[in-house]
Amino acid sequence: MLTTMSRPKVLVAMKLVPEIAIDLLRKRFDVEVCDSIPITRTEMMKKVPGKFAIFCSALSKIDEELIKTAGSSLKVVGTISVGYDHVDLTAMKKYGVRLGYTPHVLSETVAETTVGLLIATTRRFFEANHALKTGGWKDVTTVVWMNWMCGRGIRNSVVGIVGCGNIGTSIARKLKTFDISQLLYTSRTEKPAVKALGGKLVTIDELVEQSDFIILSIALNEDTKFIINRERIAKMKSHAVLVNIGRGGLIDQDALIEALQENRIGGAGLDVMTPEPLPLDSPLMKMDNVVLLPHIGSASIETRAEMAILTAKNIIAVLDNTAMPNEVKY
Ligand code: DGY
- Active site (catalytic) residues: 295
The answer to whether 91 touches 50, Cβ cutoff 8 Å, is no
Per-residue pLDDT averaged across 137-159, rounded? 89
| pLDDT band, very low/low/confident/very high, at 39 (cuts 50, 70, 90) | confident
- The yes-or-no verdict on residue 70 having pLDDT over 70 is yes
Residue 219 Cα to ligand 1 middle (Å): 10
Percentage of residues of the chain with pLDDT beyond 70: 98
| pLDDT band, very low/low/confident/very high, at 134 (cuts 50, 70, 90) | very high
- The yes-or-no verdict on residue 97 having pLDDT over 60 is yes
Cα torsion angle, 120, 122, 126, 128, sign = negative
Report the residue among 298, 300, 311 best suited for mutation to probe ligand 1: largest number of ligand atoms under 8 A from its CB.
298
| pLDDT band, very low/low/confident/very high, at 5 (cuts 50, 70, 90) | low
Average pLDDT taken over every residue of the chain: 96
Environment class of 231 (CB within 10 Å of its CB; exposed 0-12, middle 13-18, buried 19+)? exposed
At residue 145, the pLDDT reads 87
Residue 152 Cα to ligand 1 middle (Å): 29
81 lines ligand 1 (CB under 6 A): yes
β-strands 98-100, 327-328: how paired? Answer: antiparallel
DSSP character for 279?
Answer: P
Query: Which are the contacts of 79, defined by CB distance < 8 A and separation ≥ 6?
Result: 56, 57, 58, 62, 86, 87, 99, 100, 101, 102, 311
113 lines ligand 1 (CB under 6 A): no
| Largest CA-CA distance found in the chain, in angstroms, rounded | 79
Per-residue pLDDT averaged across 201-223, rounded? 98
Higher pLDDT residue, 258 or 34?
A: 258
Per-residue pLDDT averaged across 267-294, rounded? 97
256 lines ligand 1 (CB under 6 A): no
At residue 138, the pLDDT reads 83
HSE at residue 210, side-chain half, CA atoms within 13 A, is: 19
Per-residue pLDDT averaged across 100-122, rounded? 98
- The yes-or-no verdict on residue 37 having pLDDT over 80 is no
| pLDDT band, very low/low/confident/very high, at 140 (cuts 50, 70, 90) | confident
- The yes-or-no verdict on residue 2 having pLDDT over 80 is no
Residue 130 Cα to ligand 1 middle (Å): 29
β-strands 290-292, 267-270: how paired? Answer: parallel
Per-residue pLDDT averaged across 91-95, rounded? 98
Per-residue pLDDT averaged across 233-252, rounded? 98
* CA-closest residue to ligand 1 atom 6: 81
Q: What ipTM describes this predicted complex?
A: 0.95
- The yes-or-no verdict on residue 137 having pLDDT over 80 is yes
At residue 263, the pLDDT reads 96
